[in-house]
Structure 1
Amino acid sequence: MSESRATAMSPEFYQTIGSQIAAVAPAGWTHVAIRYSQVAHVGQPSAIAVLRDGTRVPLPRVPIKVIHALHQLRTASYQPGAGTWFDADVDVCADGRITADFNYDNPPRVEFDPSAYAADLEKFPRAPAVTPAWLADIAAAPTGWHGARWQFDLMPTDANSSVDMVIDATTTAEAHVWAVAIRERLQTGGYAVHAQFDQGEDGRGNATTYEALVVEVGGGYMSIAFFRDLILWTVDVAADDCDAETFQVAARAALAAIEATSNYVLPAQAASAYERTLLGR
C-alpha cells in the first residue's frame, strides 16, 4: 500500500493507538501490526504481535478504542471528490514509534457486500476521474436487496462523536434495564433474542463487562451492545439469509425498540440512502 495522500492523524490518535496496544500486547513484544479494512459502516480489524524471538502471536481482540479511532480517522481522511482509504496498516513499536500506510484506490483486502460500496461512495463521493474502475463497476451493479452489514453508533441527541471520544464499554444499571425492556419487546414481536456478556474496556483501559442482545434474522443476526453513553448496533445479514421484507420489518422493530426505550438515536447522516430505505427513514 502507499500513503499517497495526506492522512489526518492527530496527536490524540497516536496516543490512543499506542497506549491501547501497549496495554494488550503480550510480554516480550517488539511491535504489533494492526490491519484494518472498512467500507461504509463496516470495519474488519486484526492485529498480530511480533516477539523478540520472531514469533508471531495474533491478538485475541483489537481494543475497541483502537477500532473507533481508526473508524473516525477514515472519516477525517476524506478529501472532497477524492474519497478516503479502504485499508490501514498501522505498526506500533514497543519503543513508541508508530507508522501507518493506507490504501486509497485498490480493492480492500477483505471482502465486503457489494451494497456497501455504493453506500461508501454516497458518504465519501469521488469524482469520476479518480474513481477506480473496479469501484465504479461494483457501485453500478443493479439495485435491489443486497443484504445489510453495518455498525452504527446510537447516542443521546446532544452527544458529540470525535476521534478523542472516550469509549467506555461498561453496561450501566440503567442500560441493563433498557436491555431487558428491548429484549422483552422484541421477543413479544416473535423474534429470537439472546442476551450475552462480553469483555471490554472502561474509559481508563481497565477490563469491564458489557451486555449485548443478539437477534436472529433468518440466517443472519443483529447485535445490540450497551456501552456507557453509546449503543453499538451491528447488523450482518446476507441477501440469501432472508428476503428484504423480513429484514426490513426486523430492523425497523429493533431500531424502534432502541429509540423508544433509551432515547438514543441513529444520527441522520449515519445511514446511506440504501440503508435509510431499509429502515424506512
Structure 2
Amino acid sequence: MAQVPLAPEQQQLLGQLLSSIAPHGWSDVSLTISIVGGEVHSSVVAHLGDGSEVPTVGRKTIELVDVFLAAHEQAYVPGAGSWLTARAVVLAVGRITVDFDYDHEPPFEFAPASWEVELAKRPRAAQVTPAWLAAKAVPTDDWLGVRWQMSFTVDGGPAPRPLDATTTPQGHLWLGEMVKRLTAAGVQVRLGADEGEDADGRPSIYEELRITIGEGYMSLACFAHELSWIADVFPDQCDETTAIDIVHTVITVVNEVTGCVLFAPGVLSYERRILGLSG
C-alpha cells in the first residue's frame, strides 16, 4: 500500500470518528474501506488491550465513508486512477496511520458493473491498469444482479452534508403510502427503523422500507433530505425480469408519492438498462 496524506482536517476528523466508536478498553481500531465506481464497502475492527478482536459498528459509519469518498476524489490523477482500498488505524495513544492501495483487488465483492464505472470516471493508462482490473471492467449485457447505492432527492441533485439521518413526519407519511402502493403492486415490503445521527451528531431514528427481491433485498431509508436507496441482489438470487420490474415499480412509487427524483451520477450502460434510463 502507498502512503498518501489526507488533509489535516480530514485526518483529525477520521481519528475522532474512529476513536468514538471504539469499545471500552481498546488499544487500536481500524477501518478498511474499498471504493469502486459508486459502490462502497467497509469494515471496522477494534483490538482490546488483551489482544482480542472485536468487530465494531457505530452510527459514525456514514461520516467515515464521506471522509473517504472525498479523499478518493482528491487522490485521482488523470491516467493513473485513484486508490481502490484504504486502511486507517487509530491507536489509543493518539497515533493514526492511513494507507492507500491502488493496484490490488479489494477484499470485498463488488457488482460487476462497478468496475466499468470506476475506469470510466477515473481512467487509467494501460501500463498502470492491472490485468485483473482490465478484465473486470469489460462491459457485458449478461444478467449481473442489482447492487448499488443511490438516492432520491427533491431536485435530483446531491443531498446536503453532513447527513441528517432523521425521518421527518412527512417522511413517515410517505413511507406509509409507499408500503400501500408497493404491496398493491405485489412487492414484498415491510417498514422498519434503525439508529442514526442528525446533522449535529445527535442520535436519531430513521425509518426505512425493506423490500424483498427473490433471495436478495433492497432498502429505502428515509432521511431528512434524501431517500437512500441500496440494492443487494446477486444474479442467482432473482431472475432479471422480476428484479427489473421491482426496480421500475419502486422508482414509479417514489416519484408519485414524494416527487423526489433519482440521483445516480456516473451510472453506465448496465445500471442504465436496469433503471430504464435513456442514453
Q: TM-score, normalised on structure 1?
A: 0.88
| Alpha-carbon displacement from aligned partner over 1:54-78 (angstroms, at most 9, x marks no partner) | 3322213462211232233323322
- SS of aligned partner of 2:115: helix
* One of 138, 147, 165 as aligned partner of 1:149: 147
Q: TM-score, normalised on structure 2?
A: 0.89
| Alpha-carbon displacement from aligned partner over 1:25-82 (angstroms, at most 9, x marks no partner) | 1122232111112222222211112233333222134622112322333233222222
User: Which residue of the partner structure matches residue 248 of structure 1?
Assistant: 244
Aligned partner of 1:70: which letter? F
CA contact (8 A) 2:156 2:263 kept: no
User: Which residue of the partner structure matches residue 183 of structure 1?
Assistant: 179
| Alpha-carbon displacement from aligned partner over 1:221-267 (angstroms, at most 9, x marks no partner) | 11101112122100011112222222222112112222332233223
CA contact (8 A) 1:114 1:138 kept: yes
Structure 1 window deviating more from structure 2 (269-278 vs 189-198): it is: 269-278
Structure 1 window deviating more from structure 2 (209-218 vs 18-27): it is: 18-27
Q: CA deviation at 1:12?
A: 4.2
User: Which residue of the partner structure matches residue 93 of structure 1?
Assistant: 91
2:35 is the alignment partner of 1:38:
yes
Q: CA deviation at 1:174?
A: 1.3
| Alpha-carbon displacement from aligned partner over 1:93-133 (angstroms, at most 9, x marks no partner) | 33443321111111111122323212322232222222111
Note the residue ranges of structure 2 that are not aligned, 5 or more in a row.
Answer: none
How many correspondences in the alignment?
Answer: 276
Aligned partner of 1:36: which letter? I
Note the residue ranges of structure 1 that are not aligned, 5 or more in a row.
Answer: none
User: Which residue of the partner structure matches residue 261 of structure 1?
Assistant: 257
Q: CA deviation at 1:268?
A: 5.0
CA contact (8 A) 2:156 2:260 kept: no
CA contact (8 A) 1:20 1:205 kept: no
- State the identity as a percent: 36
2:2 is the alignment partner of 1:2:
yes
User: Which residue of the partner structure matches residue 129 of structure 1?
Assistant: 127
Q: CA deviation at 1:160?
A: 4.7
Distance 1:175 1:12 in 2: 34
Aligned partner of 2:193: which letter? F
- SS of aligned partner of 1:266: strand
CA contact (8 A) 2:148 2:230 kept: yes
Q: CA deviation at 1:19?
A: 2.5
2:267 is the alignment partner of 1:271:
yes
2:138 is the alignment partner of 1:140:
yes
CA contact (8 A) 2:156 2:261 kept: no
User: Which residue of the partner structure matches residue 58 of structure 1?
Assistant: 55
Aligned partner of 1:171: which letter? T
The verdict on how the C-alpha distance between 1:53 and 1:170 changes in structure 2, with shifts beyond 3 A counting, is: same
The verdict on how the C-alpha distance between 1:111 and 1:50 changes in structure 2, with shifts beyond 3 A counting, is: same
Cα-Cα RMSD:
2.2
The verdict on how the C-alpha distance between 1:71 and 1:193 changes in structure 2, with shifts beyond 3 A counting, is: same
| Alpha-carbon displacement from aligned partner over 1:194-228 (angstroms, at most 9, x marks no partner) | 11111122223332211110111122111101112
CA contact (8 A) 2:21 2:57 kept: no
- SS of aligned partner of 1:108: coil
Aligned partner of 1:224: which letter? L
The verdict on how the C-alpha distance between 1:34 and 1:167 changes in structure 2, with shifts beyond 3 A counting, is: same
Distance 1:158 1:148 in 2: 21
User: Which residue of the partner structure matches residue 74 of structure 1?
Assistant: 72
